[in-house]
Amino acid sequence: MTVERPASYIGGEPNSVLKEDGSFDVRFAMCFPDTYEIGMSWNGLSILYNILNKTDYCYMERVFAPKTDMQSAMKKCGLPLFTLESKTPVKNADIVGFTLQYEMAYTNILCMLDLAGIPLYSAERSEDYPLIIAGGPCAFNAEPLADFFDAVLIGDGEELLPEFCRVYAECRKSGLSKRDSLIKLQKLQGVYVPSFYKPIYGDDGRFVRMEKTEPSAPDRILRAFLSDLNKVDYPECPINPLTEVVQERAVCELFRGCTRGCRFCQAGMIYRPVRERSKEKNFGYAVRQLENSGYDELSLLSLSTSDYSAFEPLMLDLIDYCKERKISVSLPSLRLDNFSFRILDEIQGMRKTGLTFAPEAGTQRLRDVINKNITEDDILGAIDKAIDLGWNSVKLYFMIGLPTETDEDVEGIADIAEKIMDLARSKNNGMRGRFSVSVSVANFVPKPFTPFQWVPQNRPEEFARKHDLLRNRIRRIKGVTLHYHESFVSTLEAVLARGGRELCGVIKRAWELGCRFDSWTEHFKEDAWRTALKECGIGEDHYSLTGLDTDDPLPWDIVDSGVSREFLLREYHKSTEGITTPDCRHACNGCGINKHTECVCEGILK
């Protein structure tokens, strides 16, 4: 009771799972490297928890990063990090898995291993310690953390993770060593064993190539593909937290992947192809989640929700169900060019949860560069209809520092916000005073496996200058507020996103210097990170500010995302000419994903 939110550490929530010792073969400790409030809002946790705990050979338990006050209390009492369900020390699990959702959570991984009493480096862990693995979007370039993990699972986890646990259980029963177990596990598509490879660097410190240290290791690791969402279970009984979390709502993933091809978007590339869950299954899962949880809000989740082929009929059915029960419906990831205003009209009679759109860039020229494929008329037309239906606020997401960006592009963000406010003022007897626009600006970070993986990032001082330029414009527009990110955090994110194993020492040193919860403004220690980089001989422009030659070998080349390098390079060159690429639902653009699994473009090709 001496720490903040003690309910975050006690477990026992409704719909959590308890299994008796001896009723399973593998205890899997699923670690989210951030607080309970954030981790419990991650839908992937709910999906994997549901699937693994339905098996008879695996027991998945949850572990979250304790806040700093709890960390101090645990060390004072000699209490090791434990699982929520059974309070088992994490070091007594068979497998410990971390999800890599965001680069700025990397130091928390070391913090959690230390709290668990587990040596940080895989080479230092004996047979007595659990297998330490990782997955998630950042696993597509896990090199900055490679020395800490025994294995990395790349791609969709619904089928790969249960099979990984099953095979490892067989290995343990057979008495195989860790190394021999990993040799067997690497045969599964999507499994990468970092210790079976050695990075080679040139005299200038740049990455040259990856050499195998284990002859049986694959030359490249092809990601795991889940071909059909309809064939895997989706959570119907989500865990009900006993304390407030970031997103307290039922969540239904309509489909996975995206056909839009935005050139900055890593998720749009690594989650290809689009795979839809049927309308009937989505409706059933949503209703059962609501019935089994008591939530009064439903969120429909996908990278571009309104691109779902059965979007309108599904929404009308859900609205009918939710209206009677006073449940609100949240629609993130809406496209301005295809949003169904019939749906918006239905929702506006319910409890409003806000409208959010992402134009991403302030001018048409720059939207063409990033392949956003929406126009200013799309933006203003959508807002115009929303105002007519009674909405009085909108949140807009943009990025600053995109390739080829000029000051005119930055000021274009303010121009759009001002035009929206002028539109609001011209309607409904001058409603400008009651209408508001929230502009949120993120700093562009080039990510692996995107067409922009080669481009340089703006320097922190350039980000700051552009922030000032935009802030000075927006402060003159009544009703518009501006939010933006700190510059050095974005620089560091780019370093970690595009770096290699040379960064393992940097992350460890930053952790030793007290870095924790680096994505939290109040905890971020810029000086400590600068010191760690300097002591390890890594420049702050390492793989971030200078850009990469398109012929350069890349640390993440060991991974095959399914999207070809040729396609990414072709998209990069088209961006420099401002040439757009059509939606994959309308034309096959030759990304290469259909060589590995079925894709929406199959019908077009036929």
Mean pLDDT, residues 550-559: 94
Whether 582 has a pLDDT exceeding 70, the answer reads: yes
Tell me what pLDDT residue 349 has: 67
- The number of distinct structural domains making up the chain is 1
Q: What is the reported pLDDT for 452?
A: 97
Helix, strand, coil content of the chain in percent (nearest 5)? 40, 15, 45
145-169 pLDDT, tens digit per residue, is 999 999 999 999 999 999 999 999 9
Q: Is the pLDDT of residue 288 over 60?
A: yes
| Lowest pLDDT segment from 30-34, 127-131, 323-327 | 323-327
Q: Does residue 84 sit within a domain?
A: yes
**What is the model's pLDDT at position 601?**
65
Q: How confident is the model at residue 346 (pLDDT cuts 50, 70, 90)?
A: confident
- Indicate whether 299 belongs to any domain: no
Mean pLDDT within 177-181: 97
- Kindly indicate the confidence band of residue 606, based on its pLDDT and cuts at 50, 70 and 90: very low
pLDDT(540) > 80: no
- pLDDT of residue 329 exceeding 80, the answer is yes
8-state DSSP, 556: G
Is residue 442, in this structure, part of any structural domain at all? no
Provide the residue type at 468 as one letter.
D
Q: Residue 387: what pLDDT? A: 85
Residue 538 lies in a domain: no
Mean pLDDT, rounded, for 70-88: 96
Q: Does pLDDT of 486 surpass 60? A: yes
The pLDDT of residue 504 is 98
pTM over 0.85: yes
Secondary structure (DSSP) of 495-551? HHHH--GGGHHHHHHHHHTT---TTSTTT--HHHHHHHHHHTT--TTTTTTS---TT
Bridge partners for 560 per DSSP: 222
Angle between helices 460-474 and 487-498 (to 10 degrees): 140
pLDDT at 60: 98
Say if residue 605's pLDDT is above 60: no
The pLDDT, as a whole number, for residue 546 is 66
94 located within any domain: yes
The confidence score (pLDDT) of residue 604 equals 45
Q: At residue 21, does pLDDT exceed 50?
A: yes
Total Cβ atoms within 10 A of residue 253: 20
Mean pLDDT throughout 369-391?
A: 89
For residue 149, the domain's CATH number is: 3.40.50.280
What range defines the domain where residue 201 resides? Answer: 6-222
CA 370, 275, 43, 190 torsion: positive or negative? negative
How far are the Cα atoms of 262, 442, 455, 550 from residue 547, in angstroms, in the given order?
Answer: 19, 19, 5, 9
Exposed (0-12), middle (13-18) or buried (19+): which is 109, by Cβ within 10 Å? buried
What is the rounded radius of gyration, in angstroms, for the C-alpha atoms of the chain? 24
Taking the C-alpha atoms of residue 394 and residue 308, their distance in angstroms, rounded to an integer, is: 22
Q: What is the DSSP letter of 433?
A: G
Confidence of residue 339 (pLDDT cuts 50, 70, 90): low
pLDDT value at 338 more than 80 = no
pLDDT at 393: 87
Q: What pLDDT score was predicted for residue 204?
A: 81
For the beta sheet containing 58-64, the strands, ordered from the edge strand earlier in sequence to the opposite edge, are 58-64, 26-32, 95-99, 131-135, 151-153, 191-192
Q: Which is more confidently placed, 176 or 328?
A: 176
User: Which of these, 507, 494, 480, 374, lies nearest to 418 by C-alpha position?
Assistant: 480
Q: Give Cα 218 to chain centroid, integer Å.
A: 27
Mean pLDDT on 490-513: 96
> Are the C-beta atoms of 256 and 229 separated by less than 8 Å?
yes
- Asked whether residue 602 is domain-assigned, the answer is no
17-31, 177-191, 292-306: segment of lowest average pLDDT: 292-306
Rounded Cα gap, residues 226 and 190, in angstroms: 11
Region for residue 87 given its phi and psi (left: phi exceeds 0; alpha: psi -120 to 50; beta: otherwise) = left
| Average pLDDT of the segment spanning 444-451 | 96
Query: What is the chain's mean pLDDT, rounded?
Result: 92
> Residues with Cβ < 8 Å from 128, sequence gap 6 or more?
none
Residue 428 confidence (pLDDT):
62
Instruction: Name the residue among 343, 344, 290 with its Cα closest to residue 317.
Output: 343
Q: Is the pLDDT at 528 greater than 60, yes or no?
A: yes
The pLDDT value recorded for residue 557 is 96
Residue scoring higher pLDDT (19 or 602): 19
212 lies in a domain? yes
- Domain contains 302: no
